[in-house]
Structure 1
Amino acid sequence: MLLLLHFALLKLVSAAVTLTLAIPTGVFMPTFVAGAAIGRLYGELSGHDHPVWFVLAGAAAFSGAATGTLSTSLIVFEVTGDISLIIPTILSVLIANFAMHACGTLPFYDLGIRIKRLPHAPITSPILLARCSKIKVSQVMLPPERAVKIGLGDTNDALRKLLRRHPNFESLPLVQYDEVHAEPGNADNRVCSTVLELM
């Protein structure tokens, strides 16, 4: 029992060290093994007849909370092939994810994206999603005839007017005017302004 406690603690510490290294290391396996050790410890302490169930539930819960996914419960189910474990593992992953979100922490990958300040989709709460579900597309988007765009045949004066009218835009869509209305790319506002000043 004491050996299992030491293993669980050391596995947690080693998982924390490997996850915070500046080199790419796995997230799934260190948290999976740490969760399995803690699950086994709990199963032994509770005196349950089948402590293996707690091993699998703990492994799925820890790796599910670390990655922010429910798929770890399915991975455990597929590896074991025991259909009786699907409900406990899904429940343990759901509870672990709920506890993670209730504590205000982010999954490992989302946290890495935030720390490195990489572009990402905003993380939304269910309350915000409920509010957004009442918003219509017409409230946030313009119809095609009123959309701001640069055509391949537009003049320099037309481009200057667009840049003056929309100084806070980072880029403008570059649209090809034909039957298809293909969008070949974007024109950066700063680059356009610099080129227009040189002309």
Structure 2
Amino acid sequence: MMSTFTLNLVLSTYNGVPGMLAYNGLLNFGKFDDLTYEIWEFIPFLLMGVMGGLLGALYNHINLKLTAFRMRYVNKPWQKIIEAAIVAFVTAAAAFLMIYLIHDCRIIDPDTAKYPIQMFCGYGEENAAASIWFQTPEKSVRSLFHDPPDSYQWSTIGVFFVCYFFLACWTYGLGIPSGVFIPTLLCGAAWGRLVGKLMSLFFPDQQWPDEGKYALVGAGAMLGGVVRMTLSLTVILMECVGNITFGLPLMIVLMVAKWVGDFFTEGLYDIHIQMQGVPIMAWNAPPLSNNIYATEVMNRPVATLRSVETVQNIVSILKKHHYNGFPVVDCVPTEADTRYFRSFGTLRGLILRSQLLVLLKHKVFNENAEVWQNSKVDISLFRLSYPRYFTLDEVELNSEDLNCTVDVRPFYNPSPYSIVTCTPLPRMFNLFRALGLRHLVVVDDNNGVVGIVTRKDLVKYRIWKHRGQMGLEELVIYNSVS
């Protein structure tokens, strides 16, 4: 609401009517003044939803293979620059070849053609293929939505869709700032316009076969098949075209495209999140995971601290481990305990890495008690360092400081969330999701620390679905950081 209000305020001032908050936004595909549909049009709409789901699944599958290839072979800066240059060259070559080979000229309409492109056409004519390629993608989508019937030949729209589909799929994931929203809409609008021309061919005497309407449906179906979102895309498209009459059929088309696409592949964003190893938890625990317990999920051995610890040992642990939190125990485990994964000490609390860094930075040591006790050492000391806490390299310590000790009892959390070894994975998942945890200490029957569970330990369990079959798989995640 704040962004919409601010944008409207700026746009109203820019247009000379300050305070008139009636602007839709920066993205506008033109308003459909008369957008209606008949009840029997739901049949082609549903078929277009199926088509969008199939094309979206194909798009995601191709992009998955391309991304895997890039991660393996195109991982250096100079390689990414060369790939971007190759894509730019191929895109320009495809555009000029299409304009040269397909002779699609039309009379210039002064109301719609602000900057007509005459390439290979006569005086007073513009090249329809060039008008699609050389406009911004937003204006090309608007043209496909609102240009009059028979503005494009069949060959122009068909060849453009095939070329742009593969080029857009190739472009997404390059080492440049690029998106998927507008290119996917343009692909869908192209084949949707083809469907509109086909409906006009089958029903020449009817008024309802509007090419722009079917271009809108195709754009929504294509985008829904790629990104697998429904409600938000419906709202966005309705805002972009300034008409809410078409909300219901568009929502149904997006849902069908999502269902069909999910049958073959995952959504494009989900694919890239998994390939990049981002530990994003789902809304619910994966099915078939009730028989997975904490002993199978937890990390061990565990890096622990004593209630009163030396500065040297704290620095050593912070350098060796990059965990966000460390359990505080009453005694240090022996070598045998570590070797055989026994208890690492009775749990007394948990202290965060950021808290340890603040204590080291301000030298809150027992040997300096007379100095720091006179100053204000409370929650405000830690709040001032939030959210950009110090790194260990920014903490200056001399040899005398390393021999000092730190009493962490006034600062650690004396009642951290903990679970027993027989806790099932769905229970741990719900704790992380509901409480927003980053770590969960695993204890035995005597409250001894035996392991720790982080978010990455839970997201590595993933459900797979393929052609009606389902199963649970465990991913291998390296360099796990809590």
Give TM-score, length-normalised by structure 1.
0.66
Question: What is the SS of the residue equivalent to 2:278?
Answer: coil
**Residue type of the partner of 1:35?**
G
**Residue type of the partner of 1:37?**
A
What is the number of residues matched between the two proteins?
A: 169
Question: Structure 2 vs 1, CA of residues 175 and 162 (structure 1 numbering), >3 Å: closer, same or farther?
Answer: farther
For 2:158 and 2:348, the matched residues in 1 are separated by 59
Task: Decide which structure has greater helix share.
Answer: 1
Question: Structure 2 vs 1, CA of residues 21 and 166 (structure 1 numbering), >3 Å: closer, same or farther?
Answer: farther
Question: What is the SS of the residue equivalent to 1:152?
Answer: strand
Contact persistence 2:333–2:343 (CA under 8 A): no
Question: Structure 2 vs 1, CA of residues 107 and 19 (structure 1 numbering), >3 Å: closer, same or farther?
Answer: same
2:162 counterpart residue number: 9
Question: What is the SS of the residue equivalent to 1:49?
Answer: coil
**Structure 1 segments of 4+ aligned residues over 2 angstroms from their partners:** 20-24, 113-125, 148-154, 157-163, 176-187
Once the two structures are TM-superposed, the CA of residue 94 in structure 1 deviates from its matched residue by: 0.8
1:112 aligns with 2:264: no
1:68 counterpart residue number: 228
**Residue type of the partner of 1:157?**
P
For 1:149 and 1:157, the matched residues in 2 are separated by 10
1:154 counterpart residue number: 330
**Residue type of the partner of 2:274?**
R
Once the two structures are TM-superposed, the CA of residue 174 in structure 1 deviates from its matched residue by: 5.8
Once the two structures are TM-superposed, the CA of residue 12 in structure 1 deviates from its matched residue by: 0.8
Question: Structure 2 vs 1, CA of residues 77 and 166 (structure 1 numbering), >3 Å: closer, same or farther?
Answer: farther
Question: What is the SS of the residue equivalent to 1:83?
Answer: coil
2:194 counterpart residue number: 41
Bigger Rg, which one: 2
For 2:211 and 2:274, the matched residues in 1 are separated by 38
Match among 342, 345, 359 for residue 165 of structure 1: 342
1:181 counterpart residue number: 415
1:95 counterpart residue number: 256
For 2:334 and 2:350, the matched residues in 1 are separated by 14
Deviations 1:44-72 (A, max 9, x none): 11115222221111111211221121121
Question: Structure 2 vs 1, CA of residues 173 and 61 (structure 1 numbering), >3 Å: closer, same or farther?
Answer: farther
Once the two structures are TM-superposed, the CA of residue 23 in structure 1 deviates from its matched residue by: 3.3
Question: What is the SS of the residue equivalent to 2:174?
Answer: coil
Contact persistence 2:349–2:416 (CA under 8 A): no
Question: What is the SS of the residue equivalent to 1:175?
Answer: strand
RMSD of the alignment, in Å?
4.0
Once the two structures are TM-superposed, the CA of residue 158 in structure 1 deviates from its matched residue by: 8.1
Percent same amino acid among aligned pairs? 24
Once the two structures are TM-superposed, the CA of residue 162 in structure 1 deviates from its matched residue by: 7.8
Task: Decide which structure has greater strand share.
Answer: 2
1:121 counterpart residue number: 281
Question: Structure 2 vs 1, CA of residues 26 and 36 (structure 1 numbering), >3 Å: closer, same or farther?
Answer: same
Question: Structure 2 vs 1, CA of residues 120 and 13 (structure 1 numbering), >3 Å: closer, same or farther?
Answer: same
Structure having greater relative contact order (Cα 8 Å, sep ≥ 6)? 2
Question: Structure 2 vs 1, CA of residues 38 and 185 (structure 1 numbering), >3 Å: closer, same or farther?
Answer: closer
Contact persistence 1:43–1:51 (CA under 8 A): yes
Once the two structures are TM-superposed, the CA of residue 84 in structure 1 deviates from its matched residue by: 1.6
Question: Structure 2 vs 1, CA of residues 4 and 58 (structure 1 numbering), >3 Å: closer, same or farther?
Answer: same
Question: Structure 2 vs 1, CA of residues 160 and 79 (structure 1 numbering), >3 Å: closer, same or farther?
Answer: farther
Once the two structures are TM-superposed, the CA of residue 14 in structure 1 deviates from its matched residue by: 1.8
**Residue type of the partner of 1:90?**
M
Once the two structures are TM-superposed, the CA of residue 26 in structure 1 deviates from its matched residue by: 0.1
**Residue type of the partner of 2:174?**
L
For 1:118 and 1:62, the matched residues in 2 are separated by 26
